[in-house]
């Protein structure tokens, strides 16, 4: 079965939107890990004020909620390609500084989403894209100089054990839940998209090739150690490029 892409993937998320929040709540640490990555984004910004944040691939708003807590003074724009997921997000209660826009990650400018942003957060997004490198370059262009990108995603650490853990969880939990909700295709895509995407070190290198500096690859705790990571990277500030390993 090929991976779902573009309109097919957005349609699968539309179909699964009504049960999505209940399913991810069964994942131990799901929301806590998003909050941890959002806090890491804030720390990555150092002492620079974070006034505008783009939540790219915001889904039903779990990542938006994490950002709203970590960055209480920031204006947050949540963007997603799935109308169904955005409908669920907009139905929740938000402060006035949060807004949502429907757009694919590849079509932000056409949807009126323009920078500069002080930070961009992308949770569970890049392994789902047809052309992640083009989107990374576009994100870099949306960031203000010195602005921070935080990517929170399933990206295997590179050990054989990481791959075995991920596949065991998917076969034992994720795929049965997808079948029970009538959306097995989406959850099969989730399993396979992680296996076929970059390892964590490879995605860190991809960020460097896209023109980011200060790239850091940070593990998350619990069963997802070696499976889920926070990636922090910066658009270089004027004066040159700095790589921090």
List b or e across 39-78, with b for residues whose CB sees 16 or more CB atoms inside 10 angstroms: bbbbebbeeeebebbbbbbbbbbbbbbbbbebbeebbbbb
Average pLDDT, the chain: 92
Percent of the chain whose pLDDT exceeds 70: 97
84 within a domain of the structure (yes/no): yes
Between residues 152 and 242, the one the model is more confident about: 152
Rounded average pLDDT over 109-133? 96
**Pairing outcome for strands 213-219 and 228-234:** antiparallel
pLDDT class of 76 with cuts at 50, 70, 90: very high
215 within a domain of the structure (yes/no): yes
pLDDT value for 35:
97
Range scoring the smallest mean pLDDT among 6-15, 20-29, 90-99, 152-161:
20-29
Rounded average pLDDT over 28-41? 95
Q: Give the integer Cα–Cα distance in Å for 130 and 46.
A: 32
Between residues 84 and 245, the one the model is more confident about: 84
Percent of the chain whose pLDDT exceeds 90: 80
- 184, 160 in Cβ contact below 8 A? no
pLDDT value for 43:
87
137 within a domain of the structure (yes/no): yes
Q: What is the pLDDT of residues 193-245, one digit of tens each?
A: 999 999 999 999 999 999 999 999 999 998 889 999 999 999 998 875 443 32
Per the listing, tokens 């992308």 go with 122
Q: Give the integer Cα–Cα distance in Å for 236 and 214.
A: 8
Between residues 55 and 158, the one the model is more confident about: 55
Reply yes or no on whether the pLDDT at 187 is more than 70: yes
108 within a domain of the structure (yes/no): yes
pLDDT value for 78:
98
124 within a domain of the structure (yes/no): yes
What are residue 121's DSSP bridge partners?
55, 150
5 within a domain of the structure (yes/no): no
Per the listing, tokens 């921090």 go with 244
Reply yes or no on whether the pLDDT at 48 is more than 90: no
pLDDT class of 34 with cuts at 50, 70, 90: very high
Rounded average pLDDT over 171-187? 87
**CATH number, domain with residue 57:** 3.40.50.150
Q: Give the integer Cα–Cα distance in Å for 117 and 149.
A: 10
Reply yes or no on whether the pLDDT at 1 is more than 70: no
Between residues 174 and 121, the one the model is more confident about: 121
121 within a domain of the structure (yes/no): yes
pLDDT value for 244:
33
Task: Please count the other Cβ atoms lying within 10 Å of the Cβ belonging to residue 22.
Answer: 10
pLDDT value for 130:
93
pLDDT class of 131 with cuts at 50, 70, 90: very high
Domain that holds residue 208: 28-157+198-234
For residue 226, the 8-state DSSP code is T
For residue 3, the 8-state DSSP code is P
219 within a domain of the structure (yes/no): yes
Question: For the chain, how many structural domains are there in total?
Answer: 1
């Amino acid at each position: 079965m090929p991976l779902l892409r573009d309109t097919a993937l957005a349609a699968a998320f539309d179909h699964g939107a009504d049960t999505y929040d209940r399913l991810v709540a069964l994942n131990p640490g799901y929301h806590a890990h998003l909050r941890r990555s959002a806090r890491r984004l804030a720390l990555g910004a150092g002492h620079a004020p974070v006034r505008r944040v783009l939540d790219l691939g915001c889904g039903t708003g779990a990542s938006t909620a994490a950002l709203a807590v970590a960055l209480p003074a920031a204006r947050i724009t949540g963007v997603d390609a799935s109308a169904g997921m955005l409908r669920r997000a907009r139905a929740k209660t938000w402060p006035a500084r949060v807004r949502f826009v429907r757009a694919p990650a590849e079509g932000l400018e056409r949807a009126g989403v323009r920078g500069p942003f002080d930070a961009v957060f992308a949770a569970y997004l890049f392994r789902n894209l047809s052309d992640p490198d083009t989107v990374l370059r576009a994100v870099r262009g949306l960031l203000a100089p010195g602005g921070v990108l935080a990517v929170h995603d399933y990206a295997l650490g590179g050990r054989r054990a990481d791959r075995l853990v991920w596949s065991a969880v998917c076969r034992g939990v994720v795929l049965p839940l997808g079948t029970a909700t009538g959306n097995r295709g989406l959850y099969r895509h989730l399993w396979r998209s992680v296996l076929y995407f970059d390892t964590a070190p490879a995605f860190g290198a991809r960020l460097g090739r896209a023109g980011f500096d200060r790239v850091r690859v940070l593990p998350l705790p619990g069963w997802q150690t070696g499976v889920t990571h926070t990636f922090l990277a910066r658009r270089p500030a004027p004066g040159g490029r700095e790589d921090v390993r």
